[in-house]
């Protein structure tokens, strides 16, 4: 298994990491962008098709940013199969598709199964989109059904949440006010030329 310094990483990471973007949450155009990856070391095993990036790992692809202590990439004959990011915590940030806001996530371990389109965030997991946020011990996202599941547990416990219960913050959506004139008064009503007055 070769052990490569950081300046050789670009030769190996492009094809293996193109599908790492999180399903549905992702800016779709990110998948067509080049992958840039930095780490202190990478170990590649051509026989098992496993690549291990370690030490201040930083991956960018379009609007996607992933930081981790360790990133493990598993390939099969069709390309990327599974990816695991470990950190204290591992972190991702990506622009939401069709919206001017970002989704951010933190967990001790983030697993992505490209074939099943599933993301699992383990231990002290947290996802934030805009001002909405959910926390738990395990957050699972299924890209095929576009559904989330969040579980609590002792690993999610803290001084402020001793039982490790799931916690969510959902902000009210702003309603756009009706247009008004410059003076602040309501706009005047005008008769429609296509409707005749009653006799």
**Quick check: bond before 56 cis, omega within 30?**
no
The angle formed by the CA atoms of residues 79, 85 and 147, to the nearest 5 degrees, is 80
Residues in the chain with pLDDT values less than 70: 1-31, 79-80, 176-199
CA R_g for the chain: 23
DSSP code of residue 166: -
d(CA 179, CA 34): 44
Q: Residue 105's Cα: distance from chain center in Å?
A: 6
- The pLDDT of residue 194: 59
Question: Domain 3-169 - what CATH class?
Answer: mainly beta
- The pLDDT of residue 12: 39
- The pLDDT of residue 4: 43
- The pLDDT of residue 139: 93
Residue 62 corresponds to which tokens in the numbers above? 């379009």
- The pLDDT of residue 121: 93
d(CA 72, CA 74): 7
d(CA 52, CA 61): 18
- The pLDDT of residue 130: 82
């Amino acid at each position: 298994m070769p052990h490569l310094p950081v300046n050789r990483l670009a030769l190996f990471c492009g094809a293996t990491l193109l599908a790492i973007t999180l399903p549905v949450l992702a800016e779709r155009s990110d998948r067509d962008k080049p992958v840039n990856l930095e780490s202190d070391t990478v170990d590649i095993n051509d026989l098992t098709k496993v690549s291990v990036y370690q030490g201040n790992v930083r991956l960018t692809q379009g609007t996607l940013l992933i930081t981790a202590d360790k990133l493990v990439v598993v390939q099969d004959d069709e390309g990327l199969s599974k990816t695991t990011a470990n950190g204290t915590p591992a972190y991702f940030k990506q622009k939401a598709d069709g919206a001017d806001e970002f989704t951010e996530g933190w967990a001790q371990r983030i697993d992505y199964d490209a074939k099943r389109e599933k993301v699992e965030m383990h231990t002290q997991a947290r996802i934030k989109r805009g001002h909405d946020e959910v926390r738990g011990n395990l957050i699972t996202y299924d890209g095929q059904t576009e559904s989330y599941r969040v579980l609590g547990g002792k690993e999610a416990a803290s001084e402020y949440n001793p039982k490790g219960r799931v916690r969510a913050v959902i902000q009210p959506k702003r309603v756009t006010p009706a247009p008004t004139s410059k003076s602040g008064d309501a706009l005047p009503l005008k008769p429609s030329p296509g409707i005749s007055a009653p006799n």
